[in-house]
Every structure is written in C-alpha cells, then in structure tokens.
Structure 1
Amino acid sequence: MIRYDLTDSVATVTLDRPEAMNSLTAEVKSALLEALRRAAGDDQVRAVLLTGSGRAFCAGQDLREHADNLEAGRGLAGTVREHYNPLVELITTMAKPVVAAVNGVAAGAGASLAFACDLRIASERAKFALAFSGIGLAPDSGASWTLQRLVGAGRAAELMLLGEPVDAARALELGLVTRVVPPDDVLKAAGELAVRLAQGPTRAYAATKRALAYAATHTLPEALELEALLQDECAATRDHRDATRAFLAKERPSFTGR
C-alpha cells in the first residue's frame, strides 16, 4: 500500500497499489499521511521523495470506493478535510524539500499531490489530468492554490475547466515539471535530485519554502519583513557559519542541516 525507505537522508515514500494505478482509498490516504508525518518528524530525513509503483504516479481518488460511498449516501465522506487537506498542507509546509518522481499518470488528487511538491521530475510517459470537472466536482487537494502558482491563473483555469490531459512535453513547457527524462531514468533522476537536496542547508530550504508561500499572499513590505526575520534565523545556523568559512577558504561547503 505504502512503502517507506530511508537512504542517504532521503525518505522515499512510494504509493504501492499498481493494480489500481495507485488510486487513493481511505486506508491508503491514512497510511500516506502517516508516512509523510514520519518523514517530517525524523531529524535523519533531510529530503523526501514521493513516487508511485507501476505505470502510474497516482490516479487520484479510488472511484470504486467513492461510488460505494455515494450509494450509501455518504458522499465524499469528509475525505477532503480529513485526508487530502492534511496531506497537501504537510507537503507544502514541511521543513524539508519534497521531490515528486512522476513515473506515469497523475490525475485528480494524484496530480494535486505532485503539484504540492517542491520539485517534479517526470517520465516522458507521464500525463497530468485535472479531471475534477469531468465527474462534476470542483478541484480539491490544493490544486486551486498550487496550480495557478505554477502556470498562472489563465492556464490553471484552462486545465481545470477543460480537464484535458497534459503530456510530459507540454507539462515542461508550461512549467508544471522541473525536468522530463526517459521512463527508466525517472526514479534515478529524482533520487539524485533528492540526495543533492538532502546534502544541502536544510534549514535554509525550509526558510525558502516559508518565504515563497508567504510572499504569494502578502504585500511586499510584509514579505520583506519576513525575509529579514528568516535571514536572521539562517544567519545563526551552523550551516551558514561553516559555509561562509568554506567560501573564504575557497573550499566546498559541507552542510549538516543545522
């Protein structure tokens, strides 16, 4: 259901329902949230890699379970507030960089999870689909917030209203993904990127994530003030002191995340 591995300070979290294109049941969503919380709270983890097994990254909500809920009169059964909202909030606010290895189809909430990550490496076979309107639903899992920050309001409206799939090449052109690689290389490329981040200044990365999210919804003076506060915090870190010494000595800095 969910596989968790910690290697080289990278926690790899894998959605493991390949027979169902890694679609999300209530059980899977709970396990995914638990795995991400584990990664967020573990000081040995300095970067997170999120991916799927088989031919899909994640096909979104498990529609068989959803249909059963509709038949039973339970509708969405609170899954947006109980599952999706905490997942997206955790990914976007985690004090560590999160990389998505999009190995195949990312649809609905699956696409939203990828968009919530800080960086996305996509297979040439990857496809993104904001399929909410196609089944008479509004966007969820933070897509209304993340997507327009990636591609702009106009493109976000187009992708959500029309629900047409976006292939990897178009996703790269739009800015949805960081890089596109051959299918056999996606996990390797994403893993190398995650390891690179795990070897970097973790607290500076956390401050960068916080500054970007804050600046998106605040005025310039407010953003400047937060930048000043965050810079003071980073200036007091061991990583900053050691990196400054290394720079002056013309050496390559070695970061500890402290």
Structure 2
Amino acid sequence: MILDRFRLTGRAAVVTGAGRGIGAATAVALAEAGADVVLSARTADQLREIAAQVEAAGRRAEVVPADLSDPAAAAALADAATGAFGRLDIVVNNVGGTLPRPLLETSPRFLEEAFRFNVSTAHALTRAAAPAMLAAGGGAVVNISSALGRVAGRGYLAYGTAKAALAHYTRLAAADLAPKIRVNAVAVGTVLTSALEVVAANPELKGRMEQATPLRRLGEPEDIAAAVLYLTSPAGAYVTGKLLEVDGGLQAPNLDLGLPDL
C-alpha cells in the first residue's frame, strides 16, 4: 500500500525546537509514523509534555533541554540520538527565528546573530549527524526555512536573509551528502504557533492576513509536520536538494508591519 511508504518504523530522529509549535507537531508526527525521537528546546517542561505524546504513540523519546542558539549544543544532539537509540536516521532543523526590525536598526551583529541561529545551528547538527547517518546506511535532513526567504517585505531583512541562506544551504548540502543522505527544506508561510498569539487574539488582524493568503487561512503546525514526514520517509526517497513551499500560496508577505518610507 502507498501509505506504507510514509512509515518510519525502526528509525531514530532529532527534532530541534520541539517543545511547541511546528517542532512539537513534527516530533509527534514522526513518532506516529514509527520513529523514536530526540526532543530538544530550551524549556524542559514543554519537552516532557511532547515526550508523553511520543510515548503514547508507542515510541521512545529522549528529552534534551538545551540553548540551541549555540551551534555546539545543536551538534551534541547527534550523540544524544546514538546514545539513546543506537542510530540516527532523521534530522529536522526546526529551531530558528528572528524578530522584525527596520533596516537602519539592523546592525551587522543582529544580522550575524540571525544567521547563526537559523543557519549555523542547522549546519552544526547536520555535520555532526552525517557520520551516524552514513553508518546506518543513509538518512534524511529537513531544514525549516520560510516564505520570507523568497518574498520581500519591509522589516524582514535579517530573518528573510537568514532563511534564504538556509534554503540555498539545503541545495549545497544535498549535493555534498548525496547519494546516501537526502537534504530538503520546507519554506513555511504564516503558521499559527505561540509566536503568533497576538495575531490569533486579534480577529481583525487575523482576518486581514487570511484575506492576503490565497488559500484564505493561516497554517497549522500539522500542515508543516505532514510535509516533513513526506520528506523524511520513503515516500520522499527520490527528492533531495529541494525547497517544498507550504505557505498557503503566498506571493508577498501577508503581514504588513506598516514601516514608513525613509
């Protein structure tokens, strides 16, 4: 059956930023498909809640609280997976993000920090994971990029630049790691996570954003989790170096920050 190609029985995964939102939904989805999961983020209580959901799906969970803005902490998750599960097959580089800021308030240091948090951490974990994946016969990496790495809007310079870099990093890493390790990315649109609590609590603003989205709704974390499952499972076995756009059809940002002309 075609659904068998979405199964991850016997696989082991690492998901960063797994305490809530996209990371949490992805970790649970991978577990429901059959994978054991290393969960990492800053907040241990949140991770334990997601670990309980992984275990309820019949899989093992390893909780690793860490400050993943530090590339060394991200890299250490590869050893955490092999130590807990004896193997590593899947990496989901989900941790990242950068607050909006006007160009003249975006210092070189702020831009560099955005790059480190969104790109350097992903590279650190991918690099550390590659030997374990090769030892297991291969693997799959999925990086969580953004539609703002493709479309332009005021205030998103640091975030959009970092996510665009992550998208091309995906293509380059896929070339380096083929044929045994596949590397892909998901370019997400506006997804209703805790980062958008202000939007969710404001029906007028939420309505404007929905109307500015071709599919007339904002995304749910499970929309992204489903895409990650495809890319990490045998269903996506002939896909590498690609950016899967899961953004409701966006061709421009659906949140105007109202920054004036200079």
Q: TM-score, normalised by structure 2?
A: 0.31
Considering Cα pairs closer than 8 Å and 6+ residues apart, tell me whether 1 or 2 has the greater RCO. 2
Q: TM-score, normalised by structure 1?
A: 0.31
